């Protein structure tokens, strides 16, 4: 979402710059057209899906998730992130399992002391033996974006 907002801002500035650089031989009716396009672009960006609200995941929740995994699997608790879904949270935790880095997502009913934990995608099912309760693709993607942002930190390369 941050990339889309930045791209929209750059597009609006470019269009406004082009409107100011027009030659005096152009008719006066053509000057408002780029502004109308800029307004339409800004309106389209404002109606887009709102950015997900990212939540930190307590280490106890990561430990609860990892309790059903292989002892050799390494979970990056500092990179864990969650977004609100249904009646709980989609929690994404980066993990290294079998020499391969994976972004696995689980569903928990509460962030602190969860009573219910299920695997939210196939990557989670391959890492832990929690039962699979597949989540919709969009919450999984949003949770993974939040986790990626936590791992990379804020900056121009973060999603």
Provide, rounded to the nearest whole percent, the portion of the chain with pLDDT above 70. Answer: 64
**Residue 89, pLDDT score:** 96
| Same domain assignment for residues 70 and 140 | yes
| Same domain assignment for residues 10 and 82 | no
| Same domain assignment for residues 12 and 65 | no
| Same domain assignment for residues 148 and 124 | yes
| Same domain assignment for residues 39 and 65 | no
**Residue 94, pLDDT score:** 94
| pTM of the model as a whole | 0.64
**Residue 6, pLDDT score:** 60
Q: How many CB atoms lie under 10 A from the CB of residue 158? A: 14
User: Per-residue pLDDT tens for 24-59?
Assistant: 444 444 444 555 544 444 454 455 666 778 999 999
**Residue 158, pLDDT score:** 41
**Residue 95, pLDDT score:** 93
| Same domain assignment for residues 42 and 94 | no
**Residue 151, pLDDT score:** 81
Q: How many CB atoms lie under 10 A from the CB of residue 7? A: 12
Q: Which helix (H) or strand (E) holds 78?
A: none
| Same domain assignment for residues 41 and 69 | no
**Residue 86, pLDDT score:** 83
Q: Residue 113: which residues within 8 A CB-CB, separation 6 or more?
A: 60, 61
Q: Helical H runs in the chain?
A: 2-20, 32-46, 59-66, 122-127, 137-152
Better-scored residue on pLDDT, 3 or 75: 75
Q: Residue 128: which residues within 8 A CB-CB, separation 6 or more?
A: 65, 66, 68, 69, 104, 106, 119
| Same domain assignment for residues 64 and 131 | yes
- Determine the Cα–Cα distance for residues 78 and 81; give it in Å rounded to an integer: 9
Range of the domain at 13: 2-46
Segment 17-28 mean pLDDT? 48
| Same domain assignment for residues 15 and 90 | no
Instruction: Flag whether 159 is in a domain.
Output: no
Instruction: Flag whether 158 is in a domain.
Output: no
| Same domain assignment for residues 104 and 71 | yes
**Residue 28, pLDDT score:** 46
| Same domain assignment for residues 28 and 9 | yes
Instruction: Flag whether 11 is in a domain.
Output: yes
| Same domain assignment for residues 24 and 93 | no
User: Per-residue pLDDT tens for 62-104?
Assistant: 999 999 998 899 999 999 999 999 889 999 999 998 889 999 9
């Amino acid at each position: 979402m941050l990339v889309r907002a930045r791209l929209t801002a750059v597009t609006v500035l470019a269009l406004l710059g082009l409107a100011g650089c027009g030659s005096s031989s152009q008719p006066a009716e053509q000057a408002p057209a780029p502004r109308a396009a800029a307004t339409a672009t800004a309106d389209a960006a404002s109606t887009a899906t709102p950015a997900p609200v990212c939540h930190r995941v307590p280490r106890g929740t990561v430990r609860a998730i990892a309790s059903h995994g292989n002892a050799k699997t390494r979970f990056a608790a500092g990179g864990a992130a969650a977004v609100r879904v249904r009646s709980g949270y989609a929690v994404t935790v980066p993990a290294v399992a079998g020499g391969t880095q994976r972004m696995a997502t689980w569903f928990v009913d509460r962030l602190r002391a969860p009573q219910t934990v299920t695997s939210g995608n196939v990557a989670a099912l391959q890492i832990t033996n929690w039962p699979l309760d597949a989540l919709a693709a969009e919450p999984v993607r949003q949770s993974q974006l939040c986790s990626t942002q936590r791992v990379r930190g804020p900056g121009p390369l973060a999603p």
